[in-house]
Structure 1
Amino acid sequence: MKTVTKVVDGVIKTLMATSAFVLFLVTFLQVVFRFILKSPLAWSQDVIRLCFTYLVFLGAAWCVREKAHLNIDVVISCLKPKLRAALELVINIALCGFFIFLAYYGWKFAVTGKTQLAPYLPVPMFYYYLSVPISAVLMLYYMVPHIIGQVKNFGGAQEEGN
């Protein structure tokens, strides 16, 4: 499992770095062509949108991996350790439910884009929309082992407390 995770991590990091680089490069070229050469690159809008979409959604999955997703620490930090662990577990299980919802309906939404083309490039919008279910599956992939670890730790904390 660790080998698969290393491969998935490597693919995500590579895709995020590539998206960020292409995003920077095409945006820079668009500025040069629009303001200096007075001839904007119409296709750049589609490339920028695609790169930005994947960068954001893969970044969200990476945040789940790093446990850096948004939470409200003020409320959680005021609780006793056992109650805090239980609440974090419930929150993470609820997040898994949301990720499943997002993957399912994200896929249904992505399929609707098969017949639509991007405004300037002959690329189906399916590939843009596919970022949603892909990131949801990745977030679920990263969250499930975290929940398993929480359950193991919670069970151990319960035994130690008795």
Structure 2
Amino acid sequence: MKAFAQIIEKILGAVVGLLMALMVLDVTWQVLTRFVLKEPSSYTEELARFLLVWIGLLGAAYAYRKKAHLGLDILSQKLEGAAKRKLDIFISIVCMVFALVIMIYGGAKLMLLTLELDQMSAALQVKVGYLYSVIPLSGVLIVLFSLDRIINGDPEPETLEFYE
């Protein structure tokens, strides 16, 4: 499970990085066409919006895996040993239940409904259900990373080190 989660983490990091690069190119093209060519592109704003949503949701799963997500650690800093491990397991279970109910179940219902209604995005002419597929996908990733935390323990959070 740990090795599988590490492979998924690396792939996820690369995908989020690629989406960020695409967004930079998209917004650069938008600025160029609007202010330099004086012919604004019709699809760049919508593409940037959808890329931002995908980056945010996939990035949230990646940050959760890296334990780099915003969180309150007042209680966990005061605990040690078995009590700290039990609290970490409880937190992972709460995150997993949220991902299962809200992101996977709710996201899948939203995705399937918009696919069934054949809703299309205005500029890109892509089915909105495909764009919403990132919600259950991110939920599945968070559940996977939660299970890994429960089974193998928490990874150490990412920290920045400063050198003088």
- After TM superposition, is the score higher than 0.5? yes
User: AA paired with 1:146?
Assistant: R
Q: Return the structure number with greater relative CO, CA threshold 8 A, min gap 6.
A: 2
Cα RMSD of the aligned pairs, angstroms, is: 2.0
Q: Which has the larger radius of gyration?
A: 1
Q: Which residue is equivalent to 1:35?
A: 35
Q: Which residue is equivalent to 2:122?
A: 119
Gaps of 5+ in 1: 152-162
Q: How many percent of aligned residue pairs carry the same amino acid?
A: 26
Structure 1 residue 99: deviation in Å? 1.0
Q: 1:132 aligns with which of 131, 135, 139?
A: 135
Spell out, residue by residue over 1:10-57, the C-alpha distance to the aligned partner (whole angstroms, 9 max, x if none).
431232122111100010110111122222111112221222111111
User: AA paired with 2:48?
Assistant: I
Aligned length: 151
Structure 1 residue 62: deviation in Å? 0.7
Structure 1 residue 131: deviation in Å? 0.8
Higher mean alpha-carbon deviation, 136-145 vs 38-47, is at 38-47
Gaps of 5+ in 2: 155-164
More helix by share: 1
TM-score, length of structure 1 as denominator length: 0.83
TM-score, length of structure 2 as denominator length: 0.82
User: AA paired with 1:142?
Assistant: F
